[in-house]
Amino acid sequence: MEHIKEEIFKLVALLNKYSYDYYVEDNPQISDTEYDTLYKQLEKLEQEYPEFILDNSPTQRVGDRVLDEFEKVIHKVPMLSLSNTFSIEDLRDFDSRISKLSSDDSIEYICELKIDGLAISINYENGKLVSAATRGDGMVGENVTENIKTIFSIPKTLKTKKSFEVRGEVYLPKKSFELLNKEREENNEVLFANPRNAAAGSLRQLDSKITAKRRLSAFIYSVVGDENINSQKMALTVAADVGLPVNPNFKLCKTIDEVVDYIMYWEEHKQDLPYEIDGIVIKVNSYSLQEEIGSTQKSPRWATAYKFPEEELATKLLDIELSVGRTGIITPVAVLNPINISGSTVSKASLHNKDIIDELDIHIGDMVVVKKAGEIIPKVVRVVEELRLANSEKYVMPNICPSCESKTFTKEGDPFTRCLNPDCPEQNIRKIIHFASREALNIEGLGDKVVATLYEKGIIKHTIDLFSLDRNKLVELERMGDKSVDNLLNAIENSKQSSLDKVIFALGILNVGKKAGKILAEYYKNLTNFSKATVDELLELPDIGLITAESIVDYLSNDNNLRFINELIEIGMNPQYEIQNKNIDNIFSGKTIVLTGKLVELTRNEAKEYLERFGAKVTGSVTSKTDYVIAGEKAGSKLAKAEQLGIQVLSEDEFIDIMKEVQ
């Protein structure tokens, strides 16, 4: 019996560690499938040997502790977790248990897609959103009201004056996930592993502005506190009727066979959805039957979650390639014996940095387990150490750059290895590509392959060389005829007229994106002033934090970077930031404007762009500091508030007339 006690003790310790990593750190170390398998193993042992159940066993509580950064919120009705099933056999066992516990012979089930996100509770009073909290440990969550308000799919005001609580799932759509990681890659920030982690990290930001940028969405799946609702189907219908986002793919099933058909369909078609799902939730439809069947301390007996198995495959790690980014960061990439995961062939997977390599204990030739994180990004999740060859050696990040063979540098506390050589070929190629990219100076005809060819042929070495290209050398290149060369040279010459914000972004400074480029351009007015920026000065600017400020000053402290800026100024690329179309008749200059309602002649973005060109500041809410409100069709609460505060309101036609006069 002692060995049983020891096995339970080890399982509890291991599961508690994994739970802490998942719920507290938002950094899961194993797949849900692996966790649930271990959990079921512990459950079985505890059922057979209840005398060995430990107080800290994960089976004896709903979840884990709440972080201290947010205000704690006690849920009036506990947010219980669902039990899990992993096979059709388990599902039929669930149906059999329901039949035994129910007095009704004809049980109906509601099937819903299990969204891979973060559970949320939202309270509405008299139809208005007043508070929101995360699930936390099921009893106590975290107040994330301000962050929830930034999610466009969640209405602040319902189509009813009722008061009730709703529960749902906040998630990050696939498209938002791709855009977020693209932006982080451009700023040389660590990429999110999957949409679920990105959603959790985004919702738990102390600064709601950051949450707003992440493009989160949500689905509501239950209503708490409305006595008129008598079934799950009715709850979903009521939620949709009052304007709440409800996933339309739910289905009422008369038999367990219909449930199985539903599961099989979505297991095959889940890739077609614009968001991630990791299973199907099955609930008894009738509320009276739910009450009759009851709940355990941890979960309702009348519901279960069928979890899709995560596809993880083992393959051989053949080699590790290194790539050098434009800021000098060297990224290791695992070269794999090709495998097919989730419908596509995977032959490479990023290992991110030296810390990840150390944590995984990577050896060349290892058998490694690979999965698609969020079924999008291939990821090495662990090494099969039992299959490791005795003579294999642990991989160590080289201290020599793979591109220029210069000595690499690793800053203390920084997981990234960097090349600091200003003449590093791969680094310079990527800098030039970024400089010419659509988001930066948009030099047409200067794509990745053209840049690489020009560099390999010795025609350019640094970005500044673009402005002194030899036409005769260009026409000699393959696929570069007279017309193509002339178009390219004209595009490069025209790039000198780019706006200051575009030029600052094109410099490729770590953590400086397009928005930061605009903020810096507006404050510094030209490159000369910008080159003298200080940390204290930068921290006074809106949306410029310490990390970005230090990145800018680090860039400007480098002699090579300062030389490049001065060379740009010398060739005539030193645009002056000024308010275009500014004249004495411009009533918008320096004013704060709010746009509301539907505009007919212009899009909202076009109107915003015009106003900013006239020197106005466009904001999203009406306050006493608002100077004008431009109201389109069906303007609502913002118009009412403007009238209440006595703020001047312009119609779209009046705005267009003024715009024509000041142009």
Q: Is 592 annotated as a binding residue?
A: no
Q: Which two tokens stand for residue 601?
A: 């002649």
The verdict on whether residue 189 carries a ligand-binding annotation is no
- CA distances 19 to 32, 44, 249, Å, are 11, 19, 30
* Joined tokens for residue 176: 């938002």
For 323, the token pair is 């790539």
| Kind of pairing between the strands at 417-419 and 408-409 | antiparallel
Q: Token digits for 290?
A: 């739910």
CA nearest neighbour of 122 among 112, 131, 113: 131
Annotation-wise, does 483 bind a ligand? no
Catalogue the long-range contacts made by 354-357 (C-beta closer than 8 Å, 24 or more residues apart): 354/397, 354/410, 354/415, 354/416, 354/417, 355/415, 356/415, 357/332, 357/395, 357/397
Helix (H, G, I), strand (E, B) or coil at 76: coil
SS3 53: coil
136 alpha carbon, distance to own chain's centre: 21
Give dist(CA 431, CA 425) in Å, integer.
Answer: 10
Phi and psi at residue 559, to the nearest 5°: -60, -40
Using DSSP's 3-state secondary structure scheme, residue 137 falls into coil
Strands 72-74 and 217-224: unpaired
Question: Is 307 assigned a ligand-binding role in the annotation?
Answer: yes
Strands (E), 461-536: none
401 is in an annotated binding site: yes
- DSSP-derived 3-state class of residue 120: strand
Helices (H), 136-255: 145-148, 174-186, 195-203, 208-213, 232-241
DSSP 325-362: -TTSEEEEEEEEEEEEETTEEEEEEE--SHHHHHHHT-
Closest by CA position to 202, among listed 151, 264, 271, 163: 151
The answer to whether 33 is a known ligand-binding residue is yes
Would the annotation count 82 as a binding residue? Answer: yes
For residue 126, what are the CA distances in angstroms to 156, 167, 391, 559?
11, 17, 70, 62
Q: What values do phi and psi take at 154, rounded to 5?
A: -100, 115
Residue 595 is assigned to a ligand binding site: no
Q: Please indicate whether residue 114 is annotated as part of the active site.
A: yes
CA atoms within 13 A on the CB side of 327: 20
CB 133 within 8 A of CB 324: no
User: Do the annotations mark residue 25 as ligand-binding?
Assistant: no
- Could you tell me which of 592, 453, 568, 550 has the C-alpha nearest to residue 502? 568
Q: Is 283 annotated as a binding residue?
A: yes
Of the residues 10, 44, 76, 114, only one is catalytic, namely 114
Q: Are 498 and 506 in contact (CB under 8 A)?
A: yes
Query: Between the CA atoms of 186, 192, 195 and 201, what dihedral angle is there, to the nearest 10 degrees?
Result: -110
Angle, vertex CA 612, rays to CA 637 and CA 528, nearest 5: 145
CA distance 494 to 1: 81
Q: What are phi and psi of 546, to 5 degrees?
A: -65, -40
CA-to-CA distance for 10 and 231, rounded, in angstroms? 42
**Residue 112 labeled ligand binder:** yes
How many other β-carbons are positioned within 10 Å of the β-carbon of residue 529? 13
- Annotated binding-site residues for Zn(2+) read 401, 404, 419, 424
- Annotated binding-site residues read 32-36, 81-82, 112, 135, 169, 283, 307, 401, 404, 419, 424
Any idea which residues carry the catalytic annotation? 114
- Annotated binding-site residues for NAD(+) read 32-36, 81-82, 112, 135, 169, 283, 307
